Structures are given as structure tokens and as C-alpha cells.
Amino acid sequence: MASLDLDWEEVREQLRAWREDNTRHSEEVIDMWEYCLKHYKHKLGDERWMVEEQVVVAGLDSYRLDIAEHSLVALNEQFPGSLRVRKLKGMRLEALERFDEAMDVYDSIIRQDETNSTARKRKVAVLRGQGRIADAIKELTEYLKIFMSDGEAWQELCDLYLKEGDYSKAAFCMEELILTNPHNHLYYTRYAEIKYTQRRDPKGGLDNMEIARSYFCQAAKLNPGNVRALYGLFLSCTQVSSSTKCSAQKKKETQQLATWALKEIADRYSKCRTNAMDGSKILETFGSLSITEKA
């Protein structure tokens, strides 16, 4: 087995950072485990089991079932009868597409421990993996009736509604998330994007656009580096000002806002200008930024 010249302590720090950051680097985790940390696993101490769990999930994600099963066996020996290990076994069945058996495993976990939230969430993931989005939505709403404050579940529900095209319910989910984290500019951006997509709504097309504009503003205020919010601001402002139901006064204000957003974007691009990339072409293409009917 080849082994790279990496410092195993650095690798351990990196895995710990990824664990805490909640990011998804499955292939890198597998590589680091396979070529470095596996040989030092006895030096990890208590952290070893968390790393093994991380390796199991990463292995299932990148379809390296041999590595995942190896770590799963080690975890099973250390913690026999543990519900957390049983959940990992269920996840392995999911990766093998044996969805019914996975559902049985999760049901048995819930029978044994009513308060276990992760098993219920995995059931939703099983339904999603099978492509049964409507059933997944139903299961997730049942879950949220019990565990109302779970931010991740609200995010997942929003994503499922977006998959179904149900924008108003997705907007409701994002509103819940904004309520829990009012300083997170990414939630505002996503909410504004959902509202922007609802512009064809016969009930309140222009209202949705104005709501989108104000939420893009808030996102840009919280994080001036959020270029996505600035683009959204520019587009929503041009839409609002070119709509027929807009008064002259508001039109002037929104156009000023649009020019400000344009200037900010140009500034951002000029700051990270390199020899290869010239920002001037971008300013030319701004004029052609618009919403068209063509798909």
C-alpha cells in the first residue's frame, strides 16, 4: 500500500476541520485515509472513532465500499449494539440500493429509541434516494411537526419543494430559516431568488419582484462580497423599473439602485483582475442581461 509523505498530524487536523465545517470532501477524505492516516490509526486515540465514522460516510459517498465496510467492521467491534453504528449500517444498505432493508433498519432504531432524530431523517433520505419526492416531503413534514427547530430539515424541505416546483412553500421554508439565522446573507439571497422566480405568479408578480429586490439589498448589506446578491439586485431592479405598474418616482429610485449595483460588481471584478481576465468585456455584456421568454 503506497503512502504519501504527509504529516499525519496535519491530516488529522484537516479531517477535524472538515468535520466541524460540515463540508463534503468525500474523495479527499478517502485518499487521506487510504494513503496516510490508516497507518497511524492507533495514534489517534479517542478521535479515531469519529474519523472512522467520517471515513465510512465518505466511502459510501464515493462508492468505495471496501474501505467503508472495513471501517464499519472496526466500529461494530468497538461499539456493539450502538444505534449510531446501526444507522451507518442502514446507510450502507442505502448505498447498495437495498432501500427496503434500509427502511427496516431505521424503523427498528426508531422503535428502540423514540427520540432518535437522525434515523427519521435517514428515512427521508431513503425516499429521496428512490426518487419518491412527494413521499419524502410528507415524511419530512411529519418529522418537522415533532422537531420544529431543526434548521437542516427546513433546508432539506425547501430543496424538496424546489424540486417539485412548489415555490410558495419553498419560500415559506426559507422564511423559517431566516427567522432562526437573521445574520446569514446566504439565506436572504436564496429567498430572494425564490421570490424572483415567482414573478410569473398571477397573484402578485410585481410584489414578488419588489420583495426579491429588498431581500437582495439586505444580503448585499450583510455581505458586500456577495456578488450573487449584487447580480440579483441589478436584475430585479431592472425588472421593477421596466414594469408598467411602476410609478415614475419609484422608477428613478430603482434605476439608481441598479446603477449602484452595477458599479459594485465592476469594482469587484476590477479588484480580482488578472492579466488573463479583463473586466471591460463584462461591462459590455451587462447591457444584454435580461429575462427573456426563451427557456
Partner 1 sequence: MAVVWARLAFLAGIISLFHAGYSAAQHRAYMRITEQEYTSLPTDIGVQGLMSLLLTMYGILHIAGDFKEIRANVQLQNKSWETVGNRPTFYTFAHRGRALSPNYIPPKSKSLLDNIENISS
Binding site for partner 1 (CB under 8 A): 21-24, 26-27, 57, 60-66, 91, 94-95, 97, 118, 121-122, 124-125, 128-130, 152, 155-156, 183-186, 189-190, 222-223, 225
Q: What is the DSSP string of the chain?
A: -------HHHHHHHHHHHHHHT---HHHHHHHHHHTGGGGGGGSTTHHHHHHHHHHHHHHHTT-HHHHHHHHHHHHHHSTT-HHHHHHHHHHHHHTT-HHHHHHHHHHHHHH-TT-HHHHHHHHHHHHHHT-HHHHHHHHHHHHHH-TT-HHHHHHHHHHHHHHT-HHHHHHHHHHHHHH-TT-HHHHHHHHHHHHHGGG-TTTHHHHHHHHHHHHHHHHHH-TT-HHHHHHHHHHHHHHHHSTT--HHHHHHHHHHHHHHHHHHHHHHHHT--SS--THHHHHHHTT----S--
* Cβ proximity to partner 1, 48 vs 122, nearer residue: 122
* Cβ proximity to partner 1, 204 vs 225, nearer residue: 225
In whole angstroms, the minimum distance from the beta carbon of 188 to partner 1 comes to 11
In whole angstroms, the minimum distance from the beta carbon of 226 to partner 1 comes to 8
In whole angstroms, the minimum distance from the beta carbon of 203 to partner 1 comes to 28
* Cβ proximity to partner 1, 167 vs 188, nearer residue: 188
In whole angstroms, the minimum distance from the beta carbon of 166 to partner 1 comes to 18
* Cβ proximity to partner 1, 65 vs 266, nearer residue: 65
* Cβ proximity to partner 1, 72 vs 240, nearer residue: 72
Q: How far apart are CA 135 and CA 171, in angstroms?
A: 20
* Cβ proximity to partner 1, 5 vs 66, nearer residue: 66
In whole angstroms, the minimum distance from the beta carbon of 128 to partner 1 comes to 5
In whole angstroms, the minimum distance from the beta carbon of 57 to partner 1 comes to 7
* Cβ proximity to partner 1, 5 vs 97, nearer residue: 97
* Cβ contact 74:54 at 8 Å: no
In whole angstroms, the minimum distance from the beta carbon of 123 to partner 1 comes to 11
In whole angstroms, the minimum distance from the beta carbon of 223 to partner 1 comes to 5
Q: How far apart are CA 219 and CA 221, in angstroms?
A: 5
* Cβ proximity to partner 1, 25 vs 250, nearer residue: 25
